[in-house]
Amino acid sequence: MNNTWLLYIAFAAVLVFVGLYCLLSMRNLIKLFIGIEVISKGISLAFVATGFAKKNILVAQALAVTFIVIEVSVVATALAIIINTYRHTRSLDIRKLAKLKG
Amino acid sequence: MVFLFIALPLVVAGILPLVGKISKKVLPDLLVNSVFVILLALVFFEGRGLVAQDAAIKQLFWFGEPLNIRLMLDGFSLFMLFAVSLVGFAISLFSIDYMDHYGSKANFYALFLVMIAGMNGLLLVTDLFQIYIFLEVAAVASYALVAFGLGQDELEASFKYLMLSAVASAFLLAGIVIIFGVTGGLDFETVSQGLRALDARYLVGLCAAFFILGFGLKAALVPFHAWLPDAHPSAPAPISAALSGLLIKVSGVYALTRVFLNVFGLTPALSTVLMYLGVISMVVAALLALGQTDIKRMLAYSSISQVGYIVLGIGLGTPLGILGGLFHLFNHALAKSLLFLNSGSIQMSTGTRNLDEMGGLGKRMPVTAGTTLIGSLAIAGVPPLNGFWSKLIIIVALVQAKQWAFALIAVLVSVLTLWYYLVIQRKAFFGQLNERWSAVREAPFWMTVSTVLLALLCIATGIFFAGTVNSWIRPAADALVKGVQTTLGSLGF
Amino acid sequence: MIVEIALLCGLVLFSVAAIIFRDLLKAAICLAVASLLLGIIFFRMKAPYIGAFEISVVAGLITVLFITTIALTKTGGDVRESKAASWIFPLVFVVFLVLDFFVMRGLIGKIPALEATPEQGTFGEVLWKIRTFDLVGQIGVIFAGVLAVLALFRKRDKDE
């Protein structure tokens, strides 16, 4: 594999790390979800970069399109859950939720 | 025809919301149950013939043109399809009465069918990325189903489940990207040939770690189990049954087994890791189950513990171990769905899930009490019920492989399992009838039909266990053992 | 190459900003800008379709969804994040950067790889003819998402 691939993978790893840190430390439900979004940016960067490095860019694009479609579905579901939670508790604070830890 | 396993539930799910506008209850009930009957018929008449001819990979045609949809149907996937259709059928029967008071039944059924379509898809794919896609189809539907009651607990549990699931998917994709980068393909065959051709020990180790993390989260093995004891009890009872009985096995255990046994090849190091994960899940979850007072929470912990048995058997990697693991998977799917459905009956009749508040319900709900007893004994492994045989096979396999310590732990955990199931029996059904429940009645007709069906299946599988093993589980185990033998030793890390 | 690295650094910077900002609206906009940069990176990798898709769907649609949610949940929006989290972050981040840098530098030239099969045709052909099954999965996911939103926002008509 060539070195450009490693460069992109290094940046993708940074993005995934930032997202995971957000998931572990933040308390706002929407903020947690922004963390998930950052992780998925890292993943789609890694996919397209892999295709680029392997000269397989068309397949990589097809995969990334599917990935983004899935991401949209997950985002819509998650935001619907967040809005419903807010209707119950009037708050977005994770500490106000009885069971939720982590 | 095999494609119908995915297409039929999806199409019906698509038209269900429209049907729901016309008829609120009867038509959706009928439609969903007939879908499962058709799926079962397909498994019996179409699938078994195909597997017998050894037509493992099917290419689809569209008006004579070859389409690039390749489906793999071997013994293992057929066996899992059978389990999914059977338990799915019982669950849809149960939902006829149970889901009445939740409202918008058509929507519920549609989501349930999408989940089934996702699971069936996952069982038939031949490509790593498609594993992820169908995993996600089933998962997105299950988030909504967990939160279906729209109460605060449900929403919280669903959110937590979604978060951890998203992390699991991210790790899976990281592993898939690395494999794509290294081998240049995603097909199971291309990948496994590519990995054998390359000497990429550390990279394969890294990918294996990512996959274990991802599938471990999906299967709720113990260090990664935090979401399950919240998500499974919060869902409506039929969905708890589907999640515990099917989803964690399909998206966790099946995918893990498929990837590690047929693609990566089970190396000794991997085998050890899987066995330790299995044993830790077994022990820790059984101990945690003892302290629960919520019946559904206790059942959820028990699921984690039993998945530990399955992973232990499959991780052992000997033909007998794999056989036992798969047989236990089937038995646990039957018995745990039965128990979760019964917990739903109890909750519907009494309005509580707290074991301390129950008592003496056996006199009021004899069918529920009887079927719960059968399910409990089946999971705990009391002869001649089905769980006994599968646990016996796993323990014999462990002894044969000279894993004495693991065998001993498996026996002890089995005793522990029996203990906490007896606690359920004693607290819920035996003893003095609590005054509050003097007006409690037996569950409605379709709910009892479904639970009695599952209980009879538990007994039948136990008594005719040789027949079940030979006709369903042996082909499945063979398909996996073939994978172990071709890949074992060629790639070590 | 320098342009690429600058774009990637910008992407990381905006992602970090999206996480650090207390104000959710600012965070969502930072996330959108990060998506925009990612889209441009994709264009430069000669992947125009996914670049356009990233910009229109992720930077557009998902940002709209986020902002709608933020607007709907406005009054409870002030959540006090723990002080320690923002304190520790720069430290952990730098440690990870250094680690990442050295690991990746150590890996240069050491990763064995097979040649991929060369591909022909256009993006549409690849998507429709090679990854056909993915499209079935996409349909499933879209169904799941739509039905999930319908179920979660249904009127609670308890038909007794």
User: Is any Cβ of chain A less than 8 angstroms from the Cβ of C43?
Assistant: no
Structural domain spans, chain B: 4-487
* CATH for A20: 1.10.287.3510
User: Is any Cβ of chain B less than 8 angstroms from the Cβ of C119?
Assistant: no
Distance from CA of B338 to the nearest CA of A (A): 27
Nearest beta carbon to residue C100 from set A13, A41, A68: A13
Q: How many folded domains does chain A comprise?
A: 1
- Token pair belonging to B398: 């462990």
Which alpha helices (H) appear in B351-384, and where do they start and end? 361-364, 366-380
Q: Per-residue confidence at B56, pLDDT binned at 50, 70, 90?
A: low
Q: Looking at residues A17-31, what average pLDDT do you find?
A: 88
Q: Which of B68, B152, B232 to mutate to test the interface with A (most CBs of A within 10 A)?
A: B152
Nearest beta carbon to residue C151 from set B14, B68, B144: B144
> What pLDDT is stored for residue B54 in this prediction?
62
| Closest chain B residue to C140, measured at CA | B137
* Cis peptide leading into residue B9 (ω within 30°): no
Q: Between B295-316 and B268-290, two packed helices, what is the crossing angle to 10 degrees?
A: 160
Which positions in chain A touch B167 (Cβ < 8 Å)? Answer: 20, 23, 36, 39
- Cα–Cα distance measured from residue A19 to residue C16, given in angstroms and rounded to the nearest whole number: 9
- Comparing B75-84, B373-382, B436-445, C140-149, which segment has the lowest mean pLDDT? B436-445
> What pLDDT is stored for residue B63 in this prediction?
62
pLDDT (tens digit, 9 = 90+) per residue, B6-39?
989 999 999 988 888 887 778 888 888 999 999 9
CB burial of residue B65 (10 Å; 0-12, 13-18, 19+): exposed
pLDDT (tens digit, 9 = 90+) per residue, B430-452?
877 777 777 777 778 888 999 99
Q: Is pLDDT at B486 greater than 70 in this prediction?
A: no
Task: Give the residue numbers spanning the domain of A44.
Answer: 3-96
Contact across the interface for A52 and C45, Cβ inside 8 Å: yes
Distance from CA of C157 to the nearest CA of A (A): 16
Chain mean pLDDT for chain B: 86
Interface residues on B facing A, Cβ-Cβ cutoff 8 A:
129, 133, 136, 140, 143-144, 147, 150-153, 155-160, 162-164, 166-167, 170, 173-174, 177, 180-182, 184, 226, 230
Question: Is residue A66 assigned to a domain?
Answer: yes
- Cα–Cα distance measured from residue B318 to residue B157, given in angstroms and rounded to the nearest whole number: 38
User: Is any Cβ of chain B less than 8 angstroms from the Cβ of C104?
Assistant: no
Which DSSP string do the residues of B192-259 spell out, in sequence order?
HHHHHHS--HHHHHHHHHHHHHHHHHHHT-GGG-TTHHHHHHHS-HHHHHHIIIIIIIIIIIIHHHII
Give the rounded percent of residues in chain C with a pLDDT score beyond 70.
93
Distances (CA, A) of B71 to B187, B264, B277, C66: 11, 20, 31, 38
> What's the gap between Cα A88 and its chain centre?
26
| Closest chain B residue to A102, measured at CA | B160
ipTM here: 0.93
Distance from CA of A95 to the nearest CA of C (A): 10
Give the rounded percent of residues in chain C with a pLDDT score beyond 90.
36
> What pLDDT is stored for residue A74 in this prediction?
94
Nearest to B249 by CA among B48, B476, B42: B476
pTM, rounded to two decimals: 0.92
Question: Is residue A102 assigned to a domain?
Answer: no
Phi-psi region at B282: left, alpha or beta (left = phi > 0; alpha = psi -120 to 50): alpha
Side chain identity at A79, as an amino acid letter? L
Q: Which of A16, A92, A95, A97 to mutate to test the interface with C (most CBs of C within 10 A)?
A: A92
Looking at the DSSP bridge assignments, the partners of residue B65 are B62
User: Is any Cβ of chain C less than 8 angstroms from the Cβ of A77?
Assistant: yes
Rg (C-alpha) for chain B, rounded Å, is 21
pLDDT (tens digit, 9 = 90+) per residue, C57-116?
999 999 999 999 988 887 655 666 777 777 888 888 888 888 888 888 887 777 777 777
Nearest beta carbon to residue A81 from set C116, C122, C152: C152
